[in-house]
Amino acid sequence: MSFSTLIQHCLTGISLGGAYALIAIGYTMVYGILRLINFAHGEIFMMAGYFMIFSMASFPWPISVTITIAGTILLGVAIERAAYKPLRSAPRMSIMISAIGVSYLLQNLATYLFSALPQSYPEIPILKKIFQIGAVSASLVTFITPVLTILLVYALVMLINHSKIGMAMRAVSKDFETSALMGIKINNVISMTFVIGSFLAAVGSILYFTDRMSVTPFSGTLPGLKCFVAAVFGGIGSIPGAVVGGFVIGVCETALVALGYSTFSDAFTFVLLIVMLLFRPTGLFGEKNIDKV
């Protein structure tokens, strides 16, 4: 393998990893607040793909991107209100089952509405512009994805550590009841978590599908599961963990494809999950417990 091919593959891997990282944050944040694996997150990501297809049919891309992001946020918050909020005091298993239900509901709804045939994903011309550096060539989206990911993660970490709503989110993630006693509206904080998670999923979806070029009702399943693994790998509940996990899975997957083992690239992700759960169940940056009784 020549040096330039290696660089080429690295770029692809890092770019894929960036999109995974953005989606993985959604899993990890919802888990951090509700202790729920939001199995519908992959489907939110898939629906964002369809939102983009339909808005691009009638609007220029900047407006379509805005519509897609707004639509995805609305969908995420609506799912929380309709399927998770009524189960707030129910056993955790019930709300998890509800999440699985929502996931299948969205898949089947999409099949019913848009058919199971792949719909071609619209091109945003700028993102598809090819750059040539030496022997390496890649479209702009490949460069933009990791940069945008890092910027968004930085903004998110600042929001969580240095703003009032961020402080409220950290408090609610530890203790609902005491947070309520401080005057925090728990439901607003939970909605905010879904707003952020869905926003990042929408951005991730645009970057991911621009590379893949088509969307089906099942396009969300595998990326969704992989990003869930990324979140577990990094330590679920930890944002830096989800980002690292996303990049690791993206790069490894691309590396396997490059080495000719593309058949195993998906299996690898799940082997990674099993190995991680066996040897370090809390993940790379898993929650450390410092509370004293």
Partner 1 sequence: MLKIENLYVSYSGIEAVKGISLEVPDQSIVTLIGANGAGKSTTLRTISGLVKPKSGRITYQGEEITGMEPEKIVSRGITLVPEGRRVFPDLTVLENLKIGAYLRKEKDFSEDFRWIYDLFPRLKERSWQLAGTLSGGEQQMLAVGRALMSHPKLIMMDEPSLGLAPLVVKGIFDIIKEIHKRGVTILLIEQNANMALRTADFGYVLETGKITMSGTGIDLLQDESVKAAYLGKKRQ
- Give the binding site for partner 1 (CB under 8 A): 164, 167-168, 170-171, 174-175, 177-178, 180-185, 290-292
79 vs 184, beta carbon nearer partner 1: 184
3-state secondary structure of 117: coil
130 vs 181, beta carbon nearer partner 1: 181
Containing H/E element for 38? none
169 vs 244, beta carbon nearer partner 1: 169
| CB 181, min distance to partner 1, A | 5
Comparing CA positions, the residue from 93, 104, 118 lying closest to residue 42 is 104
Contact 70, 55 (CB under 8 A): no
**Torsion sign (Cα): 276, 280, 282, 288:** negative
Angle at alpha carbon of residue 270, lines to 268 and 274, rounded to 5°: 115
Main-chain phi, psi angles of 247, to 5 degrees: -65, -40
Q: How many other CB atoms are found less than 10 A from the CB of residue 175?
A: 11
| CB 79, min distance to partner 1, A | 23
| CB 180, min distance to partner 1, A | 4
137 vs 187, beta carbon nearer partner 1: 187
108 vs 187, beta carbon nearer partner 1: 187
| CB 291, min distance to partner 1, A | 4
128 vs 174, beta carbon nearer partner 1: 174
CA atoms within 13 A of residue 41's CA, in its CB half-sphere = 34
Cα 199 to Cα 45: distance, rounded to the nearest angstrom: 10
| CB 167, min distance to partner 1, A | 6
Main-chain phi, psi angles of 71, to 5 degrees: -60, -40
| CB 241, min distance to partner 1, A | 15
